[in-house]
Amino acid sequence: MKAISGLINLSGDLQHDNNKDQLLIANKSLAQMVESLSSSQPELLSFRDTISNLPRIEKHFNRTRAEVVNQLDFLVRKLMKPCY
């Protein structure tokens, strides 16, 4: 998301109107995506807790469950950071 935001900041350096229009569309889409992800955070946390609380079954499943929980924790941390 930072890369797209940085690209949008460079839009003033671009000479073609078509590129500017595409960047404005990408900026709007990115803003909507961030808003949607932020507003769905409670559901994401609930999903994370559901996965985390699954019973231990077998070694492979337990490892996979832990990896999923770690990835969801990472996503939640990223969502809580302000975007600049």
Per-residue pLDDT reduced to its tens digit, 28-51: 888 888 788 778 888 989 999 999
Task: Give residue 70's domain range.
Answer: 40-84
Does residue 6 register a pLDDT over 80? no
Do residues 25 and 45 share a domain? no
For 68-83, the pLDDT digits (tens) are 999 999 988 887 776 5
DSSP 58: -
Do residues 35 and 66 share a domain? no
Question: How far apart are alpha carbons 25 and 59 in whole angstroms?
Answer: 46
> Domain count of the chain?
2
Do residues 20 and 45 share a domain? no
Do residues 7 and 34 share a domain? yes
Do residues 73 and 59 share a domain? yes
Given a contact cutoff of 8 angstroms between Cβ atoms, the answer to whether 20 and 8 are in contact is no
Question: How far apart are alpha carbons 65 and 48 in whole angstroms?
Answer: 10
